[in-house]
Chains A and B, each alone.
Chain A
Amino acid sequence: MTDRALSVVRAGALTTVQDGGRPGHAHLGVPRSGALDAPAAALVNRLVGNPPEAAVLETTLNGCALRPRRPVTVAVGGAPCPVTVDGRPVAWGAPVRVPAGALLDVGAAVRGVRSYVALSGGVAVEPVLGSRATDLLSGLGPPPLTDGTVLPLGPPVGSHACVDVAPQPAPPAELVLRVTLGPRDDWFTPAAAGTFTSRAYRVSAASNRIGLRTEGPALERAVGGELPSEGVVLGAVQVPPDGRPVVFLADHPTTGGYPVIAVVTAGDLPAAAQAVPGTPLRFVAVRRR
């Protein structure tokens, strides 16, 4: 391995390599995967001069610490957090030069869940089906980072952006997810459909990259029995037998056997990626555009 690499000093609770994922293979049982807060990943790439598809690191709640072997430009975005280089505070949400051998520490999220770390040149692990994303459901792509992992970096291609701080949406104090009902809303009682779009839910601590789990009133089924397995999309709100809606995120299974009561509008999913456990959650029905 060349010295265009970085070593992982502190992997954090869950830090993975992410990019735009691997759509187009759902018929083979391959999840799409990719960064949960895609706009944040795209922004930090832009800040360091990477193309939008370059692989970044996605942290979970408590950040990570990295030591590059060569000088690199980094940008941290997504969930706001303290960032230091060799113990000295540096900017969050802006390009920062990290000298060779210095320790970049991405601290715990002050708000939100997932911070994104772009490094000039991008993380250059071997792609699988055209993507470097870690897929936690099926185990494709590199495993989650562990302390001591060495990650290769690609050659920088662009120059970093000239900004002090790029504006980014704040993690949600209340998560409002717009949904269009169907395809299986008729598997639930009319009362359940009303409950779903009018009552308060909370984001469950059991949420992960596969799904945003919820706490709140259970949704009652009108149709008993089993639904034959069918294809599911990103943002599908699946309702397992316990009646609590699960919003499918990037690592979701490509087929499923529980009825999908509604689908979340794609533009609302990045906020779902940043909602900490306990965040109040409402599903709001909108008409199909």
Chain B
Amino acid sequence: MRVLPVGDRALLVEVSSGDEAQALHAELVRRRAEGSLTVREIVPAARTVLLDGLDDPVRLASELTATEVPVAPPRTGEVVELPVRYDGPDLADVAALWGMSEPEVARVHAGTEFLVAFCGFAPGFGYLTGLPPHLHVPRRTTPRTAVPAGSVALAGPYTGVYPHASPGGWQLIGTTGAVLWDHARVPAALLSPGTRVRFVPVGPS
């Protein structure tokens, strides 16, 4: 674990894998909940956790440096199920990259338990991990100027769902009717870091 100072009020904690980042995030959230850590933002990402709004980052940095990366807690939280129609325009390309048929892509994707590693890009957009390395796919060579809301997409090690229509370069394999972000709802985001997710096929695939 490496602890990097960020300005006067923040620390970036760097670990060596996404799994370690998720475990560290869970541990820091736990410490904040029990009152032993005072911080405004805890932002997990691919291999880091950012702590922003700290009163004494120097002291916390030395504390963190002296601790081991925690072991990932068992995944006991509720599973959010997202209904999905595997009908995306890039399904055939992903099937070719995966070396299987389109129905098999749907079966493998829906058979995977995902975890929201972190959020970003847009409110409610989660970066979901769970696919094994041999199923990681590149981004599209040319990004689309408009990706419809609810598009289920793949890029690199991640699966994601576009909360709103936006430009995007991920490979689109399906569509969900789930509302990823609704600021009138509590909580506004359906997916937050640490949430377990399953895709449930609906209709013909």
B121–A182 touching, CB < 8 Å:
no
Distance in Å from the Cβ of A245 to the closest Cβ of chain B? 15
Q: Does A263 contact B (CB under 8 A)?
A: yes
Total A-B Cβ pairs within 8 A: 113
Q: Does B40 contact A (CB under 8 A)?
A: yes
B41–A26 touching, CB < 8 Å:
yes
User: Which residues of the other chain, A, contact B9 by a CB distance below 8 angstroms?
Assistant: 233, 266
How far apart are the CA atoms of A18 and B37 in the complex, in Å? 30
Q: Does A128 contact B (CB under 8 A)?
A: yes
B47–A28 touching, CB < 8 Å:
no
* 29 A-B pairs in the complex with CB atoms less than 8 angstroms apart: A23-B40, A26-B41, A26-B50, A27-B44, A27-B118, A27-B119, A28-B189, A29-B123, A129-B188, A138-B122, A140-B183, A180-B5, A183-B4, A183-B6, A183-B12, A184-B4, A230-B12, A230-B45, A230-B50, A231-B41, A231-B49, A231-B52, A233-B50, A254-B120, A263-B6, A263-B10, A264-B7, A288-B5, A288-B58
Instruction: Count how many chain A residues have C-beta atoms less than 8 Å from C-beta atoms of the other chain.
Output: 35
Residue of A nearest to B158 (CB): A229
Q: Kindly identify which residue among B6, B12, B47, B124 contacts A29, using a CB–CB cutoff of 8 Å.
A: B124
Q: Mark B1-34, 1 if CB is under 8 A from A, else 0.
A: 0001111111010000000000000000000000
B124–A28 touching, CB < 8 Å:
yes
Q: Does B42 contact A (CB under 8 A)?
A: yes
Q: Mark A11-39, 1 if CB is under 8 A from B, else 0.
A: 00000000000011111111000000000
User: Which residues of the other chain, B, contact A230 by a CB distance below 8 angstroms?
Assistant: 12, 45-48, 50
Q: Does A255 contact B (CB under 8 A)?
A: yes
Q: Mark A246-289, 1 if CB is under 8 A from B, else 0.
A: 00000001110000100111100000000000000000000011
Instruction: Decide: A231 near B48, CB < 8 A? Known: A27-B119, A28-B124.
Output: yes
Q: Does B43 contact A (CB under 8 A)?
A: yes
Q: Does B125 contact A (CB under 8 A)?
A: yes
How far apart are the CA atoms of A23 and B5 in the complex, in Å? 20
How far apart are the CA atoms of A260 and B122 in the complex, in Å? 20
Distance in Å from the Cβ of A269 to the closest Cβ of chain B? 11
Q: Does B168 contact A (CB under 8 A)?
A: no
Residue of B nearest to A232 (CB): B50
User: Which residues of the other chain, B, contact A260 by a CB distance below 8 angstroms?
Assistant: 6
How far apart are the CA atoms of A129 and B48 in the complex, in Å? 26
How far apart are the CA atoms of A232 and B48 in the complex, in Å? 11
Distance in Å from the Cβ of A287 to the closest Cβ of chain B? 10
Residue of A nearest to B2 (CB): A183
How far apart are the CA atoms of A104 and B49 in the complex, in Å? 47
Distance in Å from the Cβ of A196 to the closest Cβ of chain B? 15
Q: Kindly identify which residue among B12, B58, B122, B192 contacts A231, using a CB–CB cutoff of 8 Å.
A: B12
Distance in Å from the Cβ of B203 to the closest Cβ of chain A? 29
Q: Does B83 contact A (CB under 8 A)?
A: no
Q: Does B193 contact A (CB under 8 A)?
A: yes
User: Which residues of the other chain, A, contact B121 by a CB distance below 8 angstroms?
Assistant: 29, 253, 255
User: Which residues of the other chain, B, contact A167 by a CB distance below 8 angstroms?
Assistant: none
How far apart are the CA atoms of A264 and B4 in the complex, in Å? 16
A229–B41 touching, CB < 8 Å:
no
User: Which residues of the other chain, A, contact B50 by a CB distance below 8 angstroms?
Assistant: 26, 230-233
Q: Does A40 contact B (CB under 8 A)?
A: no
Q: Does A139 contact B (CB under 8 A)?
A: yes
How far apart are the CA atoms of A183 and B192 in the complex, in Å? 25
How far apart are the CA atoms of A129 and B8 in the complex, in Å? 26
Distance in Å from the Cβ of A228 to the closest Cβ of chain B? 3
How far apart are the CA atoms of A184 and B139 in the complex, in Å? 25
Q: Kindly identify which residue among A24, A129, A236 contacts B41, using a CB–CB cutoff of 8 Å.
A: A24
User: Which residues of the other chain, B, contact A288 by a CB distance below 8 angstroms?
Assistant: 5, 7-8, 58
User: Which residues of the other chain, B, contact A27 by a CB distance below 8 angstroms?
Assistant: 41-44, 118-119, 192-193
